[in-house]
Amino acid sequence: MSELPKRYPLILNPKAKGEKGRRALKFIMANATRFTIYATGSRQEAIDLARQFAREGEDLVIAAGGDGTLNAVIEGLAGSKTALGVFPTGTMNVFAREMGIPYDKLEDAMKVIDGGHSEEVDLFAMNGAPFVQMAGVGFDAQVIEETTWESKKRLGPFAYLLAASKVLRAKPPQLTVICSDGRELEGVAILVGNGSLYGGQFPLFKNASNTDSLLDVVVFKEAGYQFVKDSLGGLVNGGIDLHSHGDSVEYVQAEGLKVTSKEDVPMEIDGELWGRSTMVDFSHTGKTLKVFTPIEPKVKFRYALLKILSLWRD
């Protein structure tokens, strides 16, 4: 009897909807002999499955879903020798974009895995919960909190703009940021990046590297119109950088930091709401994540153009 071919464990978010979800499922089923498919019913189940595969010594686990599904699988694989393969089937797919993994055709994402090239990236944690791309305290987390599933289904990405207009009219929290080296800053919203991208294909953290063991931190000091101006200005200019010190925004790098507030403030990890707290701790987990990536990442034209323009301005 001949040896059975190797099948990769594939953790699938079955809730992916729309045309993209249907195309993803069609591709997976057409190549089903290459995978052992596990459709998860919850985030915890995805974490437990990934952790089990890592304990069993699997070389590779594939996550098929958006950034939330990826985050769950990453938590299960954290610190293990098991590599992550990514099938981006979500709306934003920020981490896939960051790593140059094709997110429009799963055939191309599979070619990346078959290519066998991998990289090790830093794993940080917010209040003990691992994340690989970014996190936020305050405004952007509150926008996610205010955006309902019904509005996303009806309006798509515009649902976030609708929620943002509501949050902008509210009184912002007062946040204190204390970096691990003792630096202290005050602000109304905090964005923390391990990678450079935020909200899809937009580079925000200009100096970020997910292999330097540092977090890139953008502190917004004013709400309302000035917050919108600073945010959009950073996105249009190819990111906010270490020279972006001013009256309304500050950019720092730190090995870790704590954010405190007198009131409960919303938090998010990799685009997923993570509850509320008066104290948020960011630290390196001391672990890395092995990810299959292209040897030559595919960069979208808009991202490349923003990078070129930002270098020209510098």
Enumerate the domain spans of the chain: 8-121+289-299, 129-287
Q: Is the pLDDT of residue 16 over 50?
A: yes
Q: What is the DSSP string of 168-180?
A: HTSPPPPEEEEET
Rounded Cα–Cα distance for residues 221 and 147 (Å): 24
The residue-averaged pLDDT of 19-32 equals: 88
pLDDT for 121 equals 96
Q: Which of 23 and 290 is assigned the larger pLDDT?
A: 290
CA-atom Rg of the chain in angstroms: 19
Q: Which residues contact 72 (CB under 8 A, 6 or more apart)?
A: 40, 43, 44, 46, 47, 50, 63
Residue tagged 């010190």 (tokens): 245
DSSP single-letter state for residue 247: S
Under 8 Å between Cβ of 227 and 191:
no
Confidence band, pLDDT 50/70/90 cuts, at residue 298: low
| pLDDT cut 90: percent of the chain above it | 61
Q: Is the pLDDT of residue 190 over 70?
A: yes
The CATH classification number of 8-121+289-299 equals: 3.40.50.10330
The strand pair at 60-65 and 35-39 is best described as unpaired
Alpha helix ranges (H) inside the chain: 18-30, 43-55, 67-77, 94-98, 106-115, 139-146, 149-155, 158-168, 224-236, 301-313
Q: Which residues contact 278 (CB under 8 A, 6 or more apart)?
A: 260, 261, 262, 263, 264, 265
Q: Is the pLDDT of residue 299 over 70?
A: no
pLDDT for 3 equals 62
Amino acid present at 227: F
Rounded Cα–Cα distance for residues 174 and 186 (Å): 7
Residue tagged 């590297």 (tokens): 209
Q: Which fold would CATH assign to domain 129-287?
A: Tumour Suppressor Smad4 (2.60.200)
Q: Which of 146 and 240 is assigned the larger pLDDT?
A: 146
pLDDT digits (tens, 9 = 90+) for 129-160: 999 999 999 998 998 899 887 887 788 777 88
pLDDT for 229 equals 72
Mean pLDDT taken over the chain: 87
pLDDT for 285 equals 95
Q: Which of 104 and 281 is assigned the larger pLDDT?
A: 281
Q: Is the pLDDT of residue 32 over 50?
A: yes
pLDDT for 81 equals 94
Residue tagged 């902008």 (tokens): 168
Q: Is the pLDDT of residue 197 over 50?
A: yes
Q: For 108-117, 226-235, 243-252, which range has the lowest pLDDT when averaged over its residues?
A: 226-235
pLDDT digits (tens, 9 = 90+) for 173-187: 999 999 999 999 999
The residue-averaged pLDDT of 51-75 equals: 95
Q: Which of 13-22, 52-61, 138-147, 214-223 has the highest mean pLDDT?
A: 52-61
Q: Is the pLDDT of residue 123 over 60?
A: yes
φ, ψ (nearest 5 deg) of residue 250: -140, 140
CA 143 distance to own-chain centroid: 16
What dihedral angle (degrees, nearest 10) is formed by the CA atoms of 231, 236, 237, 242?
A: 20
Q: Is the pLDDT of residue 309 over 60?
A: no
Rounded Cα–Cα distance for residues 131 and 120 (Å): 14
Residue tagged 């709306």 (tokens): 91
The strand pair at 118-126 and 272-292 is best described as antiparallel
